[in-house]
Amino acid sequence: EEIRGPILVAALLSVVLAAGIGWVVARGPARRLEAMARAASDFAGGRTAVRAEAGGDDEVAVLARSLNRMADELQERLVLLERERSQLRTVLEGMVEGVVLTDPTGRILLANDAFRRIFNAQLPVEGRRPLETARVPALQEAIESALEADEPVTREIALGGAQDKVIQASLASIRESGETVGAVAVFHDVSELKRLERVRREFVANVSHELRTPLTAIKGYAETLRDGGLRDPETAAEFVRVIHRHAERLRALIEDLLDLAAVEQGEARIDLAPVALRDVATQAEAVARPAAAGKRHTLTLDVPGDLPRVLADRDRLGQVLINLLDNAVKFTPEGGRIEVSARPSSGRVVLSVKDNGVGIPPEDIGRIFERFYRVGRSRDRREGGTGLGLAIAKHLTQAMGGTIEVESRPGSGTTFRVSLPAA
Ligand SMILES: Nc1ncnc2c1ncn2[C@@H]1O[C@H](COP(=O)(O)OP(=O)(O)O)[C@@H](O)[C@H]1O
Ligand SMILES: [Mg+2]
C-alpha cells in the first residue's frame, strides 16, 4: 500500500508529461512519445521491468532516459521495501511472544503466529477486533486501555480452560505528532513460571509445616518434663521416648531435604561404574528385612547372578531400592508379599519392586514423585514417612541415566520399575 501511492503519482505525472509533450511536438517524435507513454502506464500497472526507448540525443531521448532512471530507482526501492517487509515477517513469525498491531479504533492490522496460538484466535485475525477473533474480554480491554493511555500498559491475562494459561501482556499506544495512530502489544506466556512459583511456595510451606510438627511436640513434652513431669519416673521415661521419636523424625526430614537439594542441584556425587544388581539387591533386602519381618511380609529376591551389570552409582542405587522397599513394607497390610526382581531388556536392565499392598488410586499416581506428596495425607503420614522418598528416588535414578515408573491397582498392589543402562 505504502509504495503504490508514490508509484501511481509518479506514473501519472509521467503519463501526463509524456502526453503533453507528444501533443506539442510534431509527428516525428510523437510516435516515440506515444511509446514512452505506453511504457509509463505499463510501469504504473505494476510491470516494473518495462523501459522506454531511449535512443538518440534530442529532447525526447533525454526525457525517456530520465523516465527510465526514475523507473530503475523505483524498482530498486520496491525490492528494498519487499526485503525489509519479509525480514520483519520472519522476525515476527519466529518469535515466541505474541505480537499484535492495531489501528486507532482497535482493529488488528497485523498479528503473528504466536498471537494466534496463544489466544487460539479464529482466522482471519487481520481487520477484526480482538474480541471477535479471540473471545478474551481481557485482551480487548487491555488494547482499549493502551489506546487511551499515555504510558505503556501491562496486564496479566488468565486464560481459563483446561490448560490454565497465564499471559503477561505489555501494550503501548503509537503516537504520531500527538495523535494516536494505533497500538502495539506483546504477549508472553508465563504459565510455566507461575507454576514453578507456586511449586516453590508450596514447598516452603510444606517444609515449614513438616518441621514444625515434631518441633512443637518436642517443645511440649520437654516443657511438661520441666514443669514437674520429671517427678513421675514412668511418665518421664515415656515422654523422653516420644521426644526421641520426634527428634529422629526431624533428623530424617532434614537429611532427606539435604539429599534432595543436593541431587536436584546436581551437586550430589554420582560415581557411575558397572554394578552387579544382585549385590545391591541383596544388601537392600537385608536392610528392609527386619521391618518386613515385623509385619510378617514374605520378602523374595529374584535377581539372577548372570544379569548384565548396569552403569550406576552403587550406593545411590541401593538408596533408591531401600526407598522402594520401605514403601512396599509400609503400604502393604500385614502378611503381604513383596518381590524384588530384575530382567534384561534391550540394552538395559529393569529392576522391579512389587507388592500386593493397598495400591495407589489413579488420581494420585501422577503426583507421587512430587516432593511431600502422599496419598490421602493423613493415611500415609501415620506411616511416619517424609513424603520425600520417591522424589529422591526419581532424581537419583535420573542422575544415573535411568528411568523410574510405577504401575498400581488400588487394593491389589503396586510395582515400581527402575530401568538402567547396561554397563
Ligand atoms: N508401594 C506403595 N504402595 C502404595 N502407595 C505407595 C507405595 N509407594 C509409595 N506410595 C505412595 O506414594 C507416597 C510418596 O511416597 P514417598 O515419597 O516414599 O513418601 P513416604 O514414604 O514418606 O510417605 C506415599 O506417601 C504413598 O502414598
Ligand atoms: Mg517412602
Stronger pLDDT, 238 or 3, i.e. the higher one: 238
Whether residue 132 sits in one domain with residue 42: no
Q: Which letter does DSSP use for residue 52 in this model?
A: -
Stronger pLDDT, 54 or 347, i.e. the higher one: 347
Instruction: Walk across the sheet containing 179-189 and list its strands.
Output: 108-111, 98-102, 179-189, 165-176, 153-159
Mean pLDDT of 392-396: 94
Q: Is the CB of 390 under 6 A from ligand 1?
A: yes
| Closest to 75 in 3D by CA, of 47, 33, 115 | 47
Distance between CA atoms of residues 223 and 239, nearest Å: 10
Tell me the pLDDT band of 27, cut-offs 50, 70 and 90. Answer: low
Q: Which of 189, 211, 230 is the last residue of a domain?
A: 189
Whether residue 158 sits in one domain with residue 229: no
Residue 40's pLDDT is what? 84
Q: How far is the CA of 314 from the centre of ligand 1 (A)?
A: 23
Q: Is the CB of 358 under 6 A from ligand 1?
A: yes
Q: Is the CB of 386 under 6 A from ligand 1?
A: yes
Whether residue 134 sits in one domain with residue 86: no
What confidence tens digit (pLDDT) does each residue in 139-183 have? 999 999 999 998 999 999 998 776 688 999 999 999 999 899 999
| Count: domains in the chain | 4
Integer CA distances (angstroms), 51 to 38, 44, 59, 210, 283, in order = 10, 12, 17, 85, 91
Q: How far is the CA of 367 from the centre of ligand 1 (A)?
A: 10
Distance between CA atoms of residues 393 and 418, nearest Å: 10
What confidence tens digit (pLDDT) does each residue in 125-142 have? 899 998 888 888 999 999
Whether residue 234 sits in one domain with residue 199: yes
Q: How far is the CA of 400 from the centre of ligand 1 (A)?
A: 22
In whole angstroms, how large is the CA radius of gyration of the chain?
Answer: 38
Nearest-ligand number for the alpha carbon of 260 = 1
Nearest atom of ligand 1 to the alpha carbon of 383 = 23
Q: Is the pLDDT of residue 378 over 70?
A: no
Q: Is the pLDDT of residue 64 over 90?
A: no
Distance between CA atoms of residues 188 and 70, nearest Å: 45
Whether residue 341 sits in one domain with residue 288: yes
Q: Is the pLDDT of residue 15 over 90?
A: no
Nearest-ligand number for the alpha carbon of 391 = 1
- Nearest-CA residue for ligand 1 atom 7 is 327
Whether residue 154 sits in one domain with residue 108: yes
Q: Which of 166, 189, 212 is the last residue of a domain?
A: 189
Q: How far is the CA of 324 from the centre of ligand 2 (A)?
A: 7
Whether residue 388 sits in one domain with residue 411: yes
Q: How far is the CA of 106 from the centre of ligand 2 (A)?
A: 57
Q: Is the CB of 210 under 6 A from ligand 1?
A: no
Domain of 291: which CATH number?
Answer: 3.30.565.10
Q: Is the CB of 413 under 6 A from ligand 1?
A: no
Whether residue 405 sits in one domain with residue 358: yes
Q: Is the CB of 389 under 6 A from ligand 1?
A: yes
Q: Which of 242, 264, 286 is the last residue of a domain?
A: 264
Domain of 225: which CATH number?
Answer: 1.10.287.130
Q: How far is the CA of 163 from the centre of ligand 1 (A)?
A: 28
Mean pLDDT of 382-387: 73
Residue 245's pLDDT is what? 92
Highest mean pLDDT among 5-19, 118-132, 350-364: 350-364
What confidence tens digit (pLDDT) does each residue in 32-42 have? 788 888 888 88
Single-letter amino acid, residue 258: L
* φ, ψ for residue 257, nearest 5 deg: -60, -45
Range(s) of the domain holding residue 377: 273-421
Q: How far is the CA of 380 from the centre of ligand 2 (A)?
A: 10
Residue 107's pLDDT is what? 94
What confidence tens digit (pLDDT) does each residue in 291-339 have? 999 999 999 999 999 999 999 999 999 999 999 999 999 999 999 999 9
Whether residue 337 sits in one domain with residue 309: yes
Whether residue 307 sits in one domain with residue 402: yes
* CA 338 from centre of chain: 38
Residue 383's pLDDT is what? 62
Domain of 112: which CATH number?
Answer: 3.30.450.20
Whether residue 370 sits in one domain with residue 285: yes
Whether residue 324 sits in one domain with residue 340: yes
Q: Is the pLDDT of residue 380 over 70?
A: no
Nearest-ligand number for the alpha carbon of 416 = 1
